[in-house]
């Protein structure tokens, strides 16, 4: 993960500098103003690229880039070398090389963006507890699993238009229908309502039964949202329990510390 973050930062910074050099090159090509000559900026981009490859531990690719860097540096007009494009307009040979290698590094980033999206999704769900319990939005705090399900699903629908309520599975064992499905990130969500300490074991059994009760090629990640009316078990406790039970890290438990139902609220419902 750290390497992915480093690659991403290097790409972002390099693209910014290449864009700056490209803008200066265009200005220089139009005005031939020696003060706008972009050679120094293009060389700086090469040095930045070489440093980034060094930091990422990519010696072979660094050597390849360095060979082109040395060749440009040794051959006049050096980093000011230009070639005509199909329309006859000049373009920078050095910038073309930089773009090629930037794209090559960019290809090393994971094509599957689900990890990032899922992290964002977990943050949204955790933050949702403040919305789904607000008295100026709802008449009462969640009273049951369905309340939690519908309120969180309404929030997620704004982020994921393809969200499906009670999606069907292409293949399943037993009679399991998940509460929420988000096809774009291949994620299923199941909600649990925990109001009594005595039900902790029951919920735990339900989670394990669900994870072992279905399989589908369309869904890769699973999130279990447990809404507690009191503090029974921490989120880390639940996830540790899942790992110790042999459930893979593609399954995550999120615990929302909600509010207990009051007598007045129960009567109102």
Q: What is the pLDDT of residues 137-172, one digit of tens each?
A: 888 899 999 999 999 999 998 888 889 999 877 665
> How high is the pLDDT of residue 134?
86
> In the predicted model, what is the mean pLDDT of the chain?
82
Query: Can you give the pTM of this predicted structure?
Result: 0.55
Query: What is the DSSP pairing of strand 180-182 with strand 164-165?
Result: antiparallel
> How high is the pLDDT of residue 269?
37
**Cα dihedral 7/9/15/21 (nearest 10):** -120
Pick from 16-25, 31-40, 239-248, 258-267: least confident: 258-267
Backbone phi, psi, residue 206, to 5° = -65, -45
Tokens of 6: 């480093």
> How high is the pLDDT of residue 181?
93
> How high is the pLDDT of residue 213?
64
> How high is the pLDDT of residue 224?
95
CB 162, CB 183: distance < 8 Å: yes
- Residue 164 Cα to chain centre, angstroms: 20
């Amino acid at each position: 993960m750290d390497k992915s973050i480093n690659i991403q930062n290097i790409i972002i910074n390099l693209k910014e500098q290449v864009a700056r050099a490209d803008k200066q090159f265009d200005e220089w090509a139009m005005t031939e103003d020696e003060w706008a000559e972009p050679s120094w900026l293009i060389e700086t981009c090469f040095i930045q690229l070489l440093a980034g490859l060094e930091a990422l531990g990519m010696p072979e690719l660094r050597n390849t880039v360095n060979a082109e860097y040395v060749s440009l540096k040794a051959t006049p007009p050096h980093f000011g070398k230009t070639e005509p494009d199909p329309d006859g307009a000049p373009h920078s040979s050095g910038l073309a090389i930089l773009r090629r290698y930037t794209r090559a590094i960019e290809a090393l980033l994971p094509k599957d963006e689900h990890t990032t999206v899922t992290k964002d999704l977990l943050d949204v769900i955790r933050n949702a507890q403040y919305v789904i319990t607000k008295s100026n939005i709802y008449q009462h705090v969640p009273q049951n699993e369905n309340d939690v399900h519908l309120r969180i699903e309404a929030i997620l629908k704004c982020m994921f238009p393809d969200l499906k309520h009670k999606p069907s599975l292409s293949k399943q064992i037993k009679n399991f229908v998940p509460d929420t499905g988000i096809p774009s990130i291949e994620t299923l969500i199941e909600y649990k309502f925990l109001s009594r300490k005595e039900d902790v074991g029951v919920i735990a059994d339900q989670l394990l039964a669900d994870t072992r009760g279905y399989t589908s090629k369309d869904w890769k990640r699973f999130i279990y949202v447990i809404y507690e009316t009191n503090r029974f078990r921490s989120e880390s406790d639940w996830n540790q329990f899942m790992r110790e039970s042999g459930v893979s890290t593609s399954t995550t438990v999120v615990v929302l510390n909600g509010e207990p139902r009051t007598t007045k609220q129960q009567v109102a419902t």
